[in-house]
A and B are shown apart, each in its own frame.
Chain A
Amino acid sequence: MGMYYLFAKNAFRENYIYRANTLIYLFTGTLSLLIQFNIWQAVYSTQDAVESVNLSEMLTYVVLMAFISRLTESSIGFKLGDKIRTGEIAGDFVRPINLKWYLFADQIGNSLYGIFLALIPAGAMLALYRTFLPPVDLFHGCMFGLSLALGILLGYLLNYFLGLFVFWIKNYGYISWFLGAFTTLFSGGAVPLWFYPPALRAVANILPFRFISFEAVSIYLGKTPVSDIYIVIAGQLIWIAVFFVACRLVWNRAQKVVTVQGG
């Protein structure tokens, strides 16, 4: 267990070393938030609330989603792709480290650094706009935390699962574009799912993407009725189980492919 902690710490530190990069990411992160704030302000200039969501809630939504996207941001697909392409993966089969959790720890390290990067733009926005809502109440706050943790795990498993297909497809680039399209549409990143037309909302509901970050934020803002909160958590757990099993199956298949082809 301690080993994984070290991996995470290492990933964090490697990010820290490139300080100029940090400054630039801080800048672009702030600008990105600024853009979204401006857009929503323009929208709300003519109305007070849309679908019973007001400006403050919307701005809080934006900051939270930006934050969480840092935690769920994943280059696992590409990393796996590289490992497979260079043959490094053969080593991973033999080592006593579980590849899945190693990559997860690596991602967490990167993510935590990402939080640090996200804190400053968020702080800047708060200073400028003075609007960030706390969770509706303690209960919602806690459920938010739980849903968030589950969402991060789910996001990771989804990425890992898709990453495994590199064993067959060789180039993760294709997968990343398709995944990107679905994420853009169904994760609630740019536009909250509350504002979606019913047909698209229905599609989004049967897909796992909303459970990664959107649902957690929805709970935080109190937009999910209390009775539904447990359903959401259950949904997350179910999807996690689904992907966990799927990963196992695909991984086993992949091992066969590798041993047959010789890497």
Chain B
Amino acid sequence: MYYLGLYWEFIKIRFKTMVEYRTETLVMGIGEILGYLAKFIVIAIMVSKFQTMGGWNAYEIILLYAFNLLSYAVSNMFLYRTCNNLAGQIRTGELDSVITKPTNPFLYLCSSGFMYGYWAHISLSLFLICFCFIKLGIVFTASKIVLLIFVILGGALIQGALNLITTVPAFWLVKSHAIRKIPWAAYDFIKYPITIYHKAVQFLLIFVVPYAFISFFPLQYFLGKNDFSFFHPAFQFLTPVVGIVLFFLAYRFWLCGLKHYNSSGS
């Protein structure tokens, strides 16, 4: 528990660094907001042309994307550097500096690599979530907000887990960065309600790469829908559970990778 203070210290230090580079962070953020805004607009065009997609209107579909983006950003604040740099750190031996410290290597990497650049994604998605909820006439209650937080955290854990799982092979393989693209490839499916897809695809998105739990199922609850196709209504509350389980598995895998590093060096 003592070390939580240390990790928090790192996050604060990263903040100071960010402040030094605040112009860059700001301009980059604006660029990113524009980039994502463009994607949102394109989705809006799509939906407004075709009225509904699987029974979901434009605001609802934008909520899907916003939930995805928000949980992605929360996850990447901690994991982007950690996952991106791992292969390089193994290669240069920099990882040795990490594992010779009296800290948990994973937490050390996540906190010392914390990125504030995701302010852009978070602002945009939060704005859109509020905007769409208001337009749809959904009331904000305390319990809804708490659930929202849990859902976003759960979604972040799911995304983080998949990111981590595809990064760990770097402990075994020399050129493994392409593996990290694999779960990302299926990501675009969840722009739209999964019910519009073939059953096999839905199965993929629920049981193989559980992206459906990031936005589709939780939004069933918020939007008062019953769009479960052939899945159980309880799924709409399972996001945090799926997130925790998946991340737990990812972390175990990480430990395996470390163990391998301990027995075979680099």
Q: Are A195 and B182 in contact (CB under 8 A)?
A: no
B182:A185 contact, CB within 8 angstroms: no
A196 CB within 8 Å of chain B: yes
8 further A-B contacts with Cβ under 8 Å, apart from A24-B181, A181-B31, are: A21-B178, A28-B184, A28-B185, A34-B201, A39-B192, A171-B24, A173-B31, A195-B49
For the complex of A and B, 4 pairs with smallest distance between CB atoms:
A177-B31, A42-B196, A28-B185, A184-B38
Q: Which of B49, B181, B189 contacts A35 (CB 8 A)?
A: B189
- Tell me, in angstroms, the Cα distance from A195 to B185 when the chains sit together: 26
Which bucket holds chain A's interface residue count? 20 to 34
Q: Which of the residues A31, A43, A173, A176 comes within 8 Å of B185, measured between beta carbons?
A: A31
Check if B54 is an interface residue, CB within 8 A of chain A.
Answer: yes
- Determine the chain B residues whose CB is within 8 A of the CB of A21 once the complex forms: 175, 178
A54 close to chain B: CB less than 8 A: no
* Interface pair A32/B38, CB less than 8 Å apart: no
Within 200-233 of B, Cβ neighbours of A (below 8 Å) are at 201
* Interface residue? B42 (CB, 8 A): yes
Are the CB atoms of A185 and B28 closer together than 8 Å? no
- The answer to whether the Cβ of B27 comes within 8 Å of any Cβ in the partner chain is yes
Report whether over half of chain B's contact residues are helix, strand or loop; otherwise say mixed. Answer: helix
Of the residues B31, B35, B41, B175, contact of A20 by C-beta under 8 Å: B175
Partner of A27, one of B182, B196, B197: B182
Q: Is the interface of A mostly helix, strand, loop or mixed?
A: helix
| A79 CB to nearest chain B CB (Å) | 18
Contacts of A27 in B (CB 8 A): 182, 185
A197 to B53, CA, bound (A): 18
* Bound form: Cα–Cα A171–B191 in Å: 30
Q: Does B101 contact A (CB under 8 A)?
A: no
User: Is A244's beta carbon under 8 Å from chain B?
Assistant: no
Binding site for A on B (CB under 8 A): 24, 27-28, 31-32, 34-35, 37-39, 41-42, 45-46, 48-50, 53-54, 175, 178-179, 181-182, 184-186, 188-189, 191-192, 196-198, 201
Q: Contact between A25 and B37 (Cβ–Cβ < 8 Å)?
A: no
Roughly how many angstroms separate A28 CA and B177 CA in the complex, as a whole number? 14
Say yes or no: A174-B182 contact (C-beta < 8 A), given A39-B192, A50-B49, A184-B39: no
Q: Which residue of A lies closest to B48 (CB)?
A: A197
Instruction: Please name all residues of chain A whose beta carbon is closer than 8 Å to the beta carbon of B196 when the two chains form the complex.
Output: 38-39, 42
Partner of A185, one of B32, B38, B179, B181: B38
Given contacts A173-B28, A174-B28, A190-B42, contact A42 B192 (CB under 8 A): yes
Say which residue of A35, A180, A182, A191 sits within 8 Å of B45 (CB atoms).
Answer: A191
